[in-house]
Structure 1
Amino acid sequence: MNLVFVNSFEKRVEEDRVITAQVTIGERQGVWSVLWNEPDKDGKNGQDCWFEGDKWQDMMTAFRLRLAEKTAEGFLPLVEGHLEGIEAPSAKTRYSQMLHYFSECNSNEELYQQLRLWRREQAIKEGKPFYVIATNRVLRMISCYVPQSNEELKNIPGFGDHKCTLYGNNITDITKKHPQMGTFPLEWVIRQIDPYQFKLWVHKQKEIKVKAELERQNMKKRMLELITQGESLEKIQQSLNLPRREVILWTEELETEGYDLDTFIDSELQQVPTVDQELAWKAFETEGDRYLKPVLKKIYNEEEIKSKDLDLTYEWLRLLRMRYRKEKASESKVS
């Protein structure tokens, strides 16, 4: 067997005792295998086959998922970085991770809820998604470190000059009513963190990310199956229990990845008047296809736009844009 990858892992079970395990990836005559070696409670080495097959992508999926599960159990790699050649985080990234980790364990819950309420009201006022105003992670860090001026607020990762200009005063009006647990800058946080527990937390975040991505990939596969079966966008949305906008975005991703969605797109566009499609096509040629709002204004006047269901209108414009981009890409290859 050709050994392609190997890494050792340790799990702390007692103050002075660790369990050592090893993962290997090998290839023999085009067949990939992923093996996990771990001693049992009697110290006898046991082997678990995580994957055996000829598909690299399926092998990597199994590798990522099972490795995430093992790190969640407490097994930490002796050598950081996995098969894809992921580089170790920079000092800045690691510092941000430490501030995030510490805030999850030490935030002021009352202040956190007050900040969430402010964000909700601000997002509704501006007509923006909540996360555009501030993510939960940022609010959690603010509720932990309690900055009481814009200068202190800039020490929070993800809250720079622009966000401070927009929302700094609103936030500090709330935080000033609460005591701080430490001073700014926040380098003192590093000394308060247990390195082992922090490392476990980092790997737990990786596990969450891997599982979310795998779930997303499975949903996309299911969506592709439904498209192949001739289901409509509405039926797909109901089957996957996703917002229609999400289904459209995934359709764009599948088109970009090279899947043939022409029949599905043609079927959905049958509901759109031909004259509207022709006007939109001409607008793509004159206005470009990056932004849809200028295209919309070329098709309809202000009064017509007010009478439209804009979600549905942007929906069919995205579908038509997929067809337009595919045709232009084909023309470029010919020329």
Structure 2
Amino acid sequence: MRIVFLNSLEKKDGGATAGDAQVWIGEEDGVWRMGWNESTGEEESETIWYEGGSWSEMLHIYRHRLVIKLGEGYRPVIEGIWDEREEFHGRGMAAQRLICYSELHENETLYNELCGWRRKKASAERKAPYLIASNRLLRLISVFRPHTVDELLQLPGVGENKAAEYGTELLALTAAQAGERPGEFPLDWVERDIDDDTFRSWMYRQKEAKFRMEMEKFSLRRQALEAMAQGGNLEGICERTGLERRDAVELLEQFEKDGYTTEALVQLELQDMPAEEKSSIWQAFEELGDAFLKPVLQRAYDQETIETANLDRLYERIRLLRLSYRRHKDQAQKAG
């Protein structure tokens, strides 16, 4: 096997080296392999992270797995995995340090009280709770416990409107809790209180969730494309990916935007659809455009059908036929 990438990492504990590791990528006969070799004391282990033919899939797994290790405290001996200056000393890092501190020094009692207040407020105003305040904002308020509107405004996520609308109630909750605050406002002391390595590990853990979602999304797309290439139908994609039919159709729409063709699957799904029904929908697209589905539904079907038929099924047919319509329109524009 030919090694095409290798980087060494080490983990410190109180200044002493607590572990050494290497992350590597190799290739042999068109097959990529990627792994992690770790040495802790006298114990050595090797874990294969990936083995297959997709460079793109391997890179997604590489970023996800590596950021987990960085979150555990491993640091590259040779820099270059990410641009450290951009990641940890760029714009917005002051706010990130406040969030980091609030998650490392939780005040669960006040946080739970704030969550209860948000729940009641959301119910009374018929809003989603996150529109009142995010979990992170409530965590910040619970830890730093602002006493004035000016202090409340210094927390990331609080603007003039939110302070005016909810500030009085929030400050009443923070003032009611006894005991000293961890520090006074302004909160510039937080940057001095959190050492760089602790902050980096926390930031890497945030990235882990992001990269995991990207990896799962990539894997889902690959499974759907493989099902299409094998001549599968919409139900086959759903079984393979775990998606609902509506989400699977949305994925097909994204494939078309990305340059893939879904025509074979569309024809398979609509093979039993009456030609008159197809024609009515096609004509509605030509007259009304293809941006909105409801006007097309109302033009193509009579009111009795709309009231008695499965609406999800009707909309699914319209969305599938819209894929063909848009492809036909694009081809006509290019030819003209």
Task: Indicate whether the TM-score tops 0.5.
Answer: yes
Deviation at 1:239, TM superposition (A): 6.5
TM superposition outliers: structure 1 runs of 4+ over 6 Å = 83-86, 308-313
- The structure-2 alpha-carbon separation of the partners of 1:204 and 1:28, relative to structure 1 and needing over 3 Å to count, comes to same
After TM superposition, the structure 1 stretch with the greater mean CA deviation from structure 2, 107-116 or 76-85, is 76-85
Counterpart of 2:174 in 1: which secondary structure?
coil
* Structure 2 residue identity aligned to 1:250: L
Q: What displacement does 1:60 show?
A: 1.7
Does residue 285 of structure 2 align to residue 280 of structure 1? yes
Which structure has the larger Rg over C-alpha atoms?
A: 2
- The alpha-carbon distance between structure 1 residues 70 and 184, as it changes in their structure 2 partners (threshold 3 A), is same
1:34-55: CA deviations, max 9, x gaps?
4544434238x77665455553
Give the aligned CA root-mean-square deviation in angstroms: 4.3
Structure 1 residue runs of 5 or longer lacking an equivalent are: none
CA 1:155–1:68 in structure 2 vs 1: closer, same or farther (change >3 Å)? Answer: same
Question: Do the aligned partners of 1:2 and 1:27 also contact (CA within 8 Å) in 2?
Answer: yes
AA at the equivalent of 1:331: A
Q: How far off is 1:231 after superposition?
A: 3.7
The corresponding residue for 1:178 is 173
CA distance in 2, matches of 1:250, 1:236: 10
| Structure 1 residue 11: Cα displacement | 0.9
Q: Secondary structure at the match of 2:126?
A: helix
Aligned residues: 318
More displaced 10-residue stretch of structure 1: 52-61 or 92-101:
52-61
1:216-231 superposed matches below 5 A? 216-227=217-228, 228=230, 230-231=232-233
TM-superposition CA deviations, 1:97-136 (whole Å, max 9, x none):
21222222324322441354157437x835xx65566543
The SS at the match of 1:103 is helix
> Whole-Å Cα distance in 2 between the matches of residues 115 and 185 of structure 1?
26
Distance in 2 between residues matched to 1:268 and 1:200, nearest whole Å:
49
Q: Deviations over 1:139-191 (max 9, x none)?
A: 4334434456665554343454xxx53x4444324312222635444323222
Report the AA paired with residue 39 of structure 2: P
Matched, 1:102 2:98: no
CA distance in 1, matches of 2:156, 2:244: 30
Q: Paired residue for 1:19? A: 19
Corresponding residue number in structure 1 for 2:257: 256
- Cα distance, 1:81 vs structure 2: 5.0
Shift of the 245–177 alpha-carbon distance from structure 1 to 2, 3 Å rule, reads farther
Map residues 120-139 of structure 1 onto 2, 5 A cutoff: 120-121=122-123, 125=126, 131=130, 134-139=133-138
Distance 1:20 1:135, change over 3 A: same
* Partner residue in 2 for 1:330: 331
Q: Does the aligned pair in 2 maintain the 1:147–1:172 contact within 8 Å? A: no
The separation in 1 between residues aligned to 2:84 and 2:202, in whole angstroms, is 21
* Cα deviation 1:58-100 (Å, max 9, x = unaligned): 4323423432343344312345653799953552232232122
Q: CA, structure 1 residues 193+320, in 2 after alignment: closer, same or farther (shift >3 Å)? A: farther
1:180-214 Cα deviation digits (max 9, x unpaired): 63544432322232432222222222222222222
Report how far residue 13 of structure 1 moved.
3.7
Q: Indicate if the aligned counterparts of 2:115 and 2:138 stay in contact, CA closer than 8 A.
A: no
Distance in 2 between residues matched to 1:321 and 1:310, nearest whole Å: 16
Report how far residue 33 of structure 1 moved. 4.7
Deviation at 1:31, TM superposition (A): 5.7
Q: 1:79 to 1:325 in 2, by over 3 A?
A: farther
Corresponding residue for 1:141? 140
Moved more, 204-213 or 143-152: 143-152
Percent identity over paired residues: 30
The structure-2 alpha-carbon separation of the partners of 1:140 and 1:177, relative to structure 1 and needing over 3 Å to count, comes to same
TM-score by length of 1: 0.71
Q: Distance in 1 between matches of 2:315 and 2:151?
A: 41
Aligned partner of residue 221 in structure 2, secondary structure: helix
**TM-score normalised over the length of structure 2:** 0.71
In the alignment, residue 59 of structure 1 is paired with which amino acid? M
Alignment of 1:68-217 (within 5 A): 68-78=67-77, 82=81, 88-89=87-88, 91-105=90-104, 106-107=106-107, 108-114=110-116, 116-118=118-120, 120-121=122-123, 125=126, 131=130, 134-147=133-146, 152-160=151-159, 164-165=160-161, 167-179=162-174, 181=181, 182-217=183-218
Is the alpha carbon distance of 1:48 and 1:254 closer, same or farther for their aligned partners in structure 2, counting shifts above 3 Å? same
For the 8 Å contact 1:280–1:317, the answer to whether it is kept is: no
- Give 3-state SS (helix, strand or coil) of 1:88's partner: helix
- AA paired with 1:88? E
With over 3 angstroms needed to count, the CA separation of the structure-2 counterparts of 1:39 and 1:91, relative to structure 1, is same
Partner of 1:296: 294
